Structure 1
Amino acid sequence: MDRHKELTAAKLPDDLVVDILSRLEYKDFCRGKCAYKAWPAFSSDPDYCKKLPNKVTPGLLFQGRNKSAIPLVSLFQHIGEIDGILADVPHYEHLELLECCNGLVLCKYSSSYTTPGICCFVVCNPATRQWRIIPDTHSKTDDPRYVTILAFDPSWSPQFYIFNFHLEHIHGLILGTSKLEIFWSGSSTWLVDDTWDCDISVSHRSHIFLHGILYAETTGQVVLLEGLEEMSDGTLPYHWIIDMPSDSFYVGTFTHGCLGKSSGKLHYALPDDDGRSIVVWTLDEYAYGLWTWVVKCHLSMADAFGRDDFIHYDNGGEDGEGNWFWNCDLLDYRSRLGERPRFPL
C-alpha cells in the first residue's frame, strides 16, 4: 500500500471507518480487516459490531404441515434454530414455503387482507432480508392442479423466474399440462404459454435450473424449457422432451429418482434394480440437439449405510411370481437403529 494513502487512512476517525466498512459485503469486509491492525478490533466492539457486515448463517429452512412459522436450522451445532428469518416479509404469519433455489425462497400467502380465492406469491432473500411481492395471476392456488417452480442461477443471470404449470384435471385424474404461466423478475407481468401438449404432466418431483434451462421431471421423461433470455422482448420460451435412461424405466415405476448437477452437467440418480447401489447417469450431447444418458458411476449402498440388503422384491401377482414388486425399507432400517446413516466424505 502507498505510504501516503496508509497515513491518510490511519487518520480517519473510527466512526467514519466503521461507516465505510459497513457498506461492504462480508467477504470483502474480511479482506479489508487485513489492511490495518486496528480494524479487526471493531468486530469485538459492542457499539460497532452491530453496524458491521455479519456472516450469513447457512442452514435449512423448513415448515410444519400446520403452516407454522418458517424457522432456519443452522448447520452449526452451537447456533441451533433461528426463528423469524423471514419476519420482515408482509403477512409473515400467513406464509407457506413452496420452493428454494440458490438462496431465494418462494412463498405464498393468503389472509383476510387478500381477495378471496386469490393466493399471492412472494420471493424472499433470507440473507439480505429483501423480498418482492409477485403480481396475482390466478385463483385457487391451493388446488393440486398447479405446480409452481422457482428458478434462479446468479452465475447465469441476476433475474429469477417463476413457472406456474396448470395441469389438466378430469374426474380426479391429472392428464397433462394445459398451459404455463411464467414470471420474469425483469418485468412485472406474467406471460402465458397455452401451446402445451396435454400429455405432458409436470410433477412436484425433481427439477433443476442449469445454464438458463429448466429441467422438470415428468413420468418417464424430462421436459426442458430454454430461451428464457428472450422473455425481455415478450417472446415465450420453447420446450421439448427427452426420455429418461432406458434402463431406469423398471425401477422408476416403483420409486422416484433425483435430478442434480455436477461439473456443469445434468445428472440423474436412481437405485439400481438389485438394491445394492445407486446408479448415476449424466446427460451428454453427442450431436446438435441430440442427447443421450451415459452411466457415470455406481454408488455402493454398503459404503453409505453399512449394509445393502434393505431393498428387495416382494412376491405377488395371481401366480405368485417373483420380482413382482420392488420394495425398500430404508426408513424402517434408520428408525430401528435410531441414528442417521453415515455417508463417506
Structure 2
Amino acid sequence: MDHKEEICAAKLTDDLVVDILSRLPFKSFCRFKCVCKSWLTFSSDPHYCQKLPKVPAGFFYQDSDNSAVQLVSLSKNDEGIDGTLSFLPDYEQLKFIDCCNGLVLCEYRSNHTSPDILRFIVCNPATREWRILPDTQRDADNFYYKTMLGFDPSRSPHFCVFNFHEKRGTGNLVLGTRRVEMFSSRNSLWLVNSDLWDPENNTISVSVRPHVFLDGFLYAHSDLDVLVLEDVVAEAENIGVPPSNWTIKLPLHRIDCMADHCFRGCLGQFSGMLHYAVAEEDGHTVLIWSYADGNPHGWTVEHRLSMRNALGRDDFVHYEDGWIWTCNYEIIAFDLEREVLFLIDETTNKLLSYGISTRKVDEIKDGSHWYMYYVPCYSKLPDQEPY
C-alpha cells in the first residue's frame, strides 16, 4: 500500500470499514484480523461484532485410549479444516495435548521414538502446516508433565510451549513444579528455568484446565490462583534470566471447603482482557468476571447466568464428607465474541452451549470427554529455524 492509499484508508469511518469487512469470505477476514489490530478490535466491539463474518469453532478431543484426535465442529463453514490431523506424520500415534488460538499441540510418537525423550509437534489444522519441536529429556520417575501452548496471532506469528515438570511423592502426593522448560519458535530453542519458585516455601502446582495466552504472558490455573508467566524470547541475552512471574487471586476464594477443580472455573479472554467464568457456591448462577490491573479490586462481574434456566433443575452442588465441594456441571469454555458459554452436564452426560444473550441451550454432543475449545486461524506458521 503506497502513501496515498494509506491516507485514503485512514479517512474511512469505522462504519464503512466494518461494512467492507462484512462482505469478505470468513477465511480472508481471519487473515486480516491477524495482521491489523484495529480490525481485530472490531470483533470485540459489541456494536460491530454481529455484522462481521463468524469464524467457525469447535472442540478437539481424544478418547482415553489415545485413539485418533477428533474435532466436533460447531459450524458448517469448516471446509479445509482437518479435524483428525491426518496430514501429520504418524498421526495415529499422536497424543493430543493442547490448543491455543488456532494452533494445536500434540505429543509426537513413532515406532522409533525413545521412551526417554519428549517430542512435541505443533500444527495448524486450517492451513495443514506443522512443526516438529526439538526433543527434550524426560526426568526420572515420579515426575509428571503439564504442557501448554502459547500463541497470539494478533501479536506475533511465533508460538511458544511451556512444559511444567511436576514432582510427585508417595501416594501420588503433589510436591509442586520443580522446573519449567520453555520453547520459542523464534529460533527453536528450549530454555530451562528451575529457580522460578522456592519449592520449600512456595509450592506451585499448575492445572491443565483451559489457560489464556495474552500479550506475551501465559495465564494458567494454580490452586485458587492464576499463575502469570512471561514468554521468554530465546535470544542470547535472555539465556539464564528467569521470566517474570506472579499470581492473581481468583474471585470467590473460599477457605472453609475443598473446591472440586478450583470451583470448576474457566479462564478466557475478550477485548484484550483476562476473564474468568465460575459457579457461585450454590451452583445456581455462573458469574463471568473481567480482570483489570488498574481496578483496585481487580475483578469485576460482567455477566450473571442462571443455570436453572439453562439446565432446567435446581440441584447442582453436593458436599462430600461435609466439606469437599462438587458440582454436577462443568464450565469448559466461553466465548464472549460469540456470546456463548459451553458446559458439560454430568447429569445427562452432554456437551451443551448456552447463549449469553439469547439464553438458548443447544446440545452439541453426547458423552463426556476432555474437550479443548478451538477457533481456526489462517495465518501461516513461521519458517522452520535450524536446530
State the TM-score, normalized to the length of structure 1. 0.71
C-alpha distance after superposition, 1:296-315 (max 9, x if no partner): 332221332233x1224458
Work out the CA distance in 1 between the residues paired with 2:268 and 2:206: 17
User: In the superposition, relative to structure 1, how do residues 253 and 95 fare at CA in structure 2: closer, same or farther (>3 Å)?
Assistant: same
User: In the superposition, relative to structure 1, how do residues 339 and 256 fare at CA in structure 2: closer, same or farther (>3 Å)?
Assistant: closer
Corresponding residue number in structure 1 for 2:218: 214
User: In the superposition, relative to structure 1, how do residues 112 and 253 fare at CA in structure 2: closer, same or farther (>3 Å)?
Assistant: same
Corresponding residue number in structure 2 for 1:296: 302
User: In the superposition, relative to structure 1, how do residues 189 and 329 fare at CA in structure 2: closer, same or farther (>3 Å)?
Assistant: closer
Corresponding residue number in structure 1 for 2:15: none
Corresponding residue number in structure 2 for 1:168: 167
Bigger shift: 236-245 or 189-198? 236-245
C-alpha distance after superposition, 1:219-262 (max 9, x if no partner): 11111112535757435422112222254555772332111112
Do the aligned residues in 1 keep the contact of 2:142 with 2:168 (CA within 8 Å)?
no
Corresponding residue number in structure 1 for 2:28: 27
* Candidates 295, 298, 310, aligned match of 2:315: 310
Query: Offset at 1:285?
Result: 1.3
For structure 2, the residue ranges without an aligned partner over 5 or more in a row are: 1-24, 30-54, 330-344, 361-387
Is 1:151 the counterpart of 2:150 in the alignment? yes
Corresponding residue number in structure 2 for 1:94: 93
Q: How does 1:187-198 map to 2 (within 5 A)?
A: 187-197=187-197, 198=199
Query: Offset at 1:325?
Result: 4.9
Do the aligned residues in 2 keep the contact of 1:223 with 1:242 (CA within 8 Å)?
yes
User: In the superposition, relative to structure 1, how do residues 261 and 179 fare at CA in structure 2: closer, same or farther (>3 Å)?
Assistant: same
Is 1:272 the counterpart of 2:280 in the alignment? yes
- Give secondary structure in 2 for the equivalent of 1:285: coil
User: In the superposition, relative to structure 1, how do residues 297 and 251 fare at CA in structure 2: closer, same or farther (>3 Å)?
Assistant: farther
Corresponding residue number in structure 2 for 1:329: 328
Structure label with greater radius of gyration: 1
Corresponding residue number in structure 2 for 1:256: 264
Bigger shift: 205-214 or 221-230? 221-230
Do the aligned residues in 2 keep the contact of 1:104 with 1:125 (CA within 8 Å)?
yes
Bigger shift: 225-234 or 88-97? 225-234
Corresponding residue number in structure 1 for 2:182: 182
Do the aligned residues in 1 keep the contact of 2:85 with 2:125 (CA within 8 Å)?
yes
C-alpha distance after superposition, 1:43-67 (max 9, x if no partner): xxxxxxxxxxxxx975433222221
- Which residue type is aligned with residue 179 of structure 2? K
Work out the CA distance in 1 between the residues paired with 2:264 and 2:328: 15
Query: Offset at 1:328?
Result: 3.0
User: In the superposition, relative to structure 1, how do residues 306 and 226 fare at CA in structure 2: closer, same or farther (>3 Å)?
Assistant: same
CA RMSD of aligned residues (A): 3.5
Q: How does 1:81-160 map to 2 (within 5 A)?
A: 85-139=84-138, 145-160=144-159
- Which residue type is aligned with residue 136 of structure 2? T
For structure 1, the residue ranges without an aligned partner over 5 or more in a row are: 1-23, 29-55, 318-323
Q: How does 1:61-72 map to 2 (within 5 A)?
A: 61-72=60-71
Do the aligned residues in 2 keep the contact of 1:74 with 1:80 (CA within 8 Å)?
no
- Give secondary structure in 2 for the equivalent of 1:27: helix
State percent identity of aligned pairs: 40
Query: Offset at 1:272?
Result: 0.6
- Which residue type is aligned with residue 306 of structure 2? S
Query: Offset at 1:131?
Result: 0.7
Query: Offset at 1:109?
Result: 2.2
Work out the CA distance in 2 between the residues paired with 1:75 and 1:340: 11
User: In the superposition, relative to structure 1, how do residues 217 and 94 fare at CA in structure 2: closer, same or farther (>3 Å)?
Assistant: same
User: In the superposition, relative to structure 1, how do residues 144 and 270 fare at CA in structure 2: closer, same or farther (>3 Å)?
Assistant: farther
Do the aligned residues in 1 keep the contact of 2:101 with 2:151 (CA within 8 Å)?
yes
